[in-house]
Structure formats: C-alpha cells, structure tokens
Structure 1
Amino acid sequence: MKFSRFRDALAAGAAVLSMTATVLVPAPAYAQFGGIVYDPSNYSQNILTAARTLEQINNQIKSLQNEATSLINQAKNLTTLPLTVLAPLQAQIRQTQQLLAQAQRMAYDVQQIQTQFAAQYKNIDLTAPQKALVAGAEDRWKTSVGAFEDALKVQAGVVGNIEGARTSMNELVTASQSATGALQAAQAGNQLLALQSQQLSDLTAMMASIGRAQSLDAAQRAAAQEQGREQLRRFLTPGTGYKPGNASMFRN
C-alpha cells in the first residue's frame, strides 16, 4: 500500500518536472497567425534584398539618362550649319577674275608677256623710219595708260566686294555664336576662313594690277628714253637732221 502511494507520488513529480521544463525552454522566433507563419529574420532579409534591387534599378535609370544625354549631345554635334556663304564668295572671286581677264593689250599670261614685251619694249628697231618710231612710242603709251585703267577697274571691284564681305562676316559670326554643336561651330569657322581667303585674293589681284601698271609705265619710260636718244642723234646728225623749208598756212 505504501509502495503504490510512493509510485503515485513519483509519477506526479515527474509530470510537474515535465511541465516545468516545457515552460523553461525558449519558444522559436516565429509566430503563426491565421495559418501564416511570421519569421522576423526572414522578413528583414527580404527587405534588404528589395532595397538592393531598388538601388540597382535607380542606377540603371541614371545610366540610361546619361546615355540619352550623350546621344542628344552627339546629335547636336553632328548637326550641320544651316548657313553657307560659299556661293557669294565664289561669285566675288569670279568677278575679280573677270576684271583681270579684261586686261588691255597685254594680258596676265606669261607667254604673251614674253612675246609682246620683247616686241614693244626690248627689241625696238631704232633703225626704223621716224614715223614707225613715233607709232611705236604711241603704242607703248597706250599700253601703259590701259594698264592704269585696268588697275582702277580692279580696285573698284575690290571696293565693291567690301559690302558683301561685311554682310557675310556678320551672318557667320551670328551663326557661330548661336551654334548648337561642335560641327556647326567648326563650319562657321571654316567659312570665316574662306571669307578671309576671298579678301586676300582680292588684295592679291589689286596689288598685281597696280604692279602691272607700274611695271609697264616704267618700261614705257625706259623705252622712250632710248628712243629719244636715237631721235636726238638723228636730229643732230649733219645732212639727216632738220631742214628748213617753205610752209603754206592757207590754200589759195
């Protein structure tokens, strides 16, 4: 009888110890609500993953924006200048060339200059009759006067091109200042250089025409001096110089 009571007491103590152990053991870090298991550690990990993914998406968006900006800038740099002054500049150069081509009596040609200059100025036949010498002198004088006239025409043409050059320069400077890209700025600069080249060609043509006139005038004076000495020699040579004679001023 005592043994059975002792056995019952042991069983009751074991049950109490089992319940105490169950209470003392820590519960796992999750809970269940309506059939859904909530794990705090897993939830925080998911939040970190979502944040990293969002950051990657933002970086990709910024990269795409930078690429779009770069493409826009490249498109601007490849945009051509809507203004060109090449045609009027070429027209001005052709006008100056036409004025040079109108050179009287002795053109701007090396072979023609060699032939005509030798005939008119270098190889003068001082043994020719007086009438031929006078005609040659007159011909050289006309060539010299024509050269000065040609120079004046070229100078007038160059002065006339100044207004066109001013207009072109204003248009190009305005286009350069409002250029949207590197290509437009470069094209405006190239056309400004073309304008300077046109002005230099006008200046070259003007100096060439003035130099031509001065050279022909100097050659004419040198030939006149040589011919004058020959004519004076003839005049002073006994028997072949001046002989007085009767002159009739009025006809009967």
Structure 2
Amino acid sequence: MKTPIFHCAAALLVTGCGIAAAAVSVPAAAQVGGIVHDPRNYAQNILTAARTLEQINNQIKQLQNQATSLANEARNLSGLPVSTLEELQGQVDRTRALLGEAQRVAFDVGDIQKAFDARYKGGALTGTQAEMVANAEARWSDSVGAFQDAMKVQAGVVGNMGDARRSITTLVTASQSAAGALQAAQAGNQLLALQSQQLGDLAAAIAAQGRAQMLDAARAAAAEAEGRERFRRFLKGN
C-alpha cells in the first residue's frame, strides 16, 4: 500500500514537469525593451506578404503577356510599306494602248464586220476591175498592218517583263521580311496582281497574233475567190 508521502512526491513530479514544459514552449507574446513581440502574428504577416508578392508577380506576368499580344496584333495589322500597284497599272495601260493602235481593222466587232463587208466578201469580189484591184490592195494593207501590230504588242510585252522582274524582286523581299500577317497577305495579293498582269500581256500577244493570222487567212480566201471571178470573166471574154 502506497503511502501519502509517495502520492505527494508523485504530484510534485507531475507539477514540475508541467512547469518545465511550459518553459520550453515558445511564448505567445514577449516584451522586449518595452515593445510587445508576438511571434505568431509576425509569422502570419510574413506569410501574407509572401502571398501578396506572388500575386503581384502573377499580375506582372499577365501584363507582360498582354503587352506581347498587343505588339503581335500591331505587327499583324501593319500595312506593307511597298506597293507595285502603280507599276502594274502602267504596264496594263501600255499594253492596252498598243492594242488600241490597231491599224485599219480594230479589235471591235462592228469595225471587223464593216471591214469584211467592204473588202473581203460579196460585192468586193465581184465589182469592176478597178474596184477589185483596190480591194485587193486594201486587204494586203490589212494583213501587213495586223502583223506589224502583233509585233508591236509582243515588243511591249517583252518590255513589261523587265518591270515585272523588278516588281517580283521587290515583293518577294517584302514578303520575306514581313512583320505580320497583313504584310504577308498584301505581298501575296500584289504577287497575284502581277501574275494577272502577265497573263493579260500574254492574252494580248495571243490576240494580236491571232488577229494577224486570221486577217491573212481571210486575205488568202478573198484572193482565191477573186481569182475564180477573174477566171470566170476571162472565159466569158469580159
């Protein structure tokens, strides 16, 4: 049986241990030099400051990303600093002017019909001797003029090739150094316009050459019909 003295000793031991433990733990607050210092409040303040700093850094990153996005949009919206439109229009105008200088038989349906009615068929092949000679000379002039026109158009097309080469160099250089999508698209559009102009020159050259060949073929056919008429009159003694 334990004695009361033993119980008292045990109680004192427990009490002493509690006091020692309390002495080892960090105090909730301490007063140093008249200033109260709370370690738990200080740690909380540091944690709050760290979180605030992290939020500020995230906002800075978002602003940087937005600035980069706006800069990219600005580059994509900036126009191409060079344009070959005026040169292309000049080339087209020169080719059209050459076609407009067609001699005797123009590139016009009404003019063609009048020329054929007057010199290539019907009464033009069965008129008087003097009329037949005059119409034959007119047809010869038509053919010579048409071949001359075709050669002039072809020379103009060849001259435009030099300008086209310079335009291609300018546009390809601009396309390769394009800062944004709009500049690249505009360079591509101008290259397509240049291609269309070259196709137009090719069509003009083909049209002029075809006109010359058709007029010469019509002259040959008219000469053959006129020859038959002359032979018929010879047989009749006219």
The interval holding the TM-score normalised by the smaller chain is 0.7 to 0.9
Indicate conservation of the 8 Å contact 2:124/2:131, yes or no: no
Indicate conservation of the 8 Å contact 2:92/2:197, yes or no: yes
Change (3 A) 1:152 1:233: same
Displacement, 1:125? Answer: 4.0
The root-mean-square deviation of aligned C-alpha atoms, in Å, is 1.8
Mean Cα deviation higher: 38-47 or 103-112: 38-47
Structure 2 counterpart of 1:147: 146
What SS does the corresponding residue of 2:120 show, helix, strand or coil?
A: helix
For 1:119-144, what per-residue CA distance to the aligned partner results, in whole angstroms no more than 9, with x for missing partners?
Answer: 22232344421121111111111101
Is 1:58 aligned to residue 63 of structure 2? no
Distance 1:31 1:207 in 2: 104
Structure 2 counterpart of 1:24: 19
Amino acid aligned to 1:92: Q
For 1:32-90, what per-residue CA distance to the aligned partner results, in whole angstroms no more than 9, with x for missing partners?
Answer: 11222222222221111111100000000001111111111111112111111111111
Mean Cα deviation higher: 43-52 or 57-66: 43-52
Distance 2:113 2:131 in 1: 22
Change (3 A) 1:127 1:109: closer
What SS does the corresponding residue of 2:36 show, helix, strand or coil?
A: strand
Q: Percent identical across equivalent pairs?
A: 65
Distance 1:125 1:143 in 2: 15
Runs of at least 5 residues in structure 2 that lack an aligned partner in the other structure: 1-11
Mean Cα deviation higher: 98-107 or 119-128: 119-128
Indicate conservation of the 8 Å contact 2:85/2:190, yes or no: yes
Amino acid aligned to 2:123: I
Mean Cα deviation higher: 79-88 or 148-157: 79-88
For 1:179-234, what per-residue CA distance to the aligned partner results, in whole angstroms no more than 9, with x for missing partners?
Answer: 11111111111111111111011001000000101111111111111110010111
Mean Cα deviation higher: 71-80 or 199-208: 71-80
Runs of at least 5 residues in structure 1 that lack an aligned partner in the other structure: 1-16, 241-252
Aligned length: 220
TM-score by length of 1: 0.82
Q: In terms of Rg, which structure is larger?
A: 1
Alignment of 1:1-252 (within 5 A): 24=19, 26=22, 28-237=27-236, 239-240=237-238
Distance 1:126 1:152 in 2: 30
Amino acid aligned to 1:123: G
Mean Cα deviation higher: 28-37 or 96-105: 28-37
Amino acid aligned to 2:59: Q
Amino acid aligned to 2:19: L
Structure 1 counterpart of 2:4: none
Q: Please identify which structure carries the higher helix content.
A: 2
